[in-house]
Structure 1
Amino acid sequence: MAENDKPTCCHCASRKHTPRTDELKADVTRRINRAVGQLNGIKVMVEEDRYCGDVLTQLAAVESAVKAISREVMQDHLETCVVERVQAGDTEVVDEVMGLFKKFM
């Protein structure tokens, strides 16, 4: 592969790199900041000896929020990195994707 033909996605040999749209970055960042805020709130609830059921409800909400972020990033990964690699003839990416799916199921 010539120097000019470096992949623009996550198939770089030395370091994986994925250019993302500004819109995706902003959305994921906003969602992560919200989840961090929720976790900080849960920390306070525990420190204040709040009712266990309330703490668990808030933990479930954070878990759901993180899963939603994961789905968004996974969709972007499939639509960009995976498509590019398959189009380039690299079908090993299917094994990578299956490994990622296993982590979320």
Structure 2
Amino acid sequence: MDEMELHACGTLSDRKSHHSEATKKNLVTRLNRVEGQIRGIKGLIEKDVYCDDIITQISATQSALNSVAKLLLEGHLKSCVVERIQEGDEEIVDELLTTIQRLMKK
């Protein structure tokens, strides 16, 4: 077994997540719902629906997408971040801080 196979989270050049099938299904279901919400918003705009109603739908869609991000972040913390810290790779902390800063800009 080479070093690439030993690191479930991967190195910078081959990074991959390792979510369970149930988690992937949950994330895809949520994203499909968000995709439907986006199509719905587009339809509301095309039908000249009252702006405040459209903004409400946009807010709900952003909330749903944030929920997906939170689930991904939780999984990342519990797996990749923990593993890399246990391996002595403290660079993951800077990566994590950058990720959190990106999420908080929204």
Normalised TM-score (structure 2): 0.91
Structure 1 residue runs of 4 or more that deviate by more than 3 Å after TM superposition: none
1:28-76 deviation line (CA, Å, top 9, x unaligned): 0000000000000000000011100000000000000000110000000
CA-based RMSD: 1.3
Q: Residue 7 of structure 1 corresponds to which residue in structure 2?
A: 7
* Paired residue type of 1:76: G
- For residues 20 and 12 of structure 1, the distance between their equivalents in structure 2, rounded to whole angstroms, comes to 17
Structure 1 residues without counterparts, runs of 5 or longer? none
Give matches, 1:61-100, under 5 Å: 61-100=60-99
Aligned identity (percent) is 35
More contact order relative to length (CA 8 Å, sep ≥ 6):
1
Q: Residue 33 of structure 1 corresponds to which residue in structure 2?
A: 32
* Paired residue type of 1:40: R
Deviation at residue 18 of structure 1 after TM alignment = 1.4
Deviation at residue 17 of structure 1 after TM alignment = 1.1
* Paired residue type of 2:52: G
Structure 2 residues without counterparts, runs of 5 or longer? none
- Secondary structure of the 1:19 match is coil
Report if the CA contact (8 A) 1:6-1:12 is conserved: no
Normalised TM-score (structure 1): 0.92
| Total equivalences in the alignment | 103
* Paired residue type of 1:87: Q
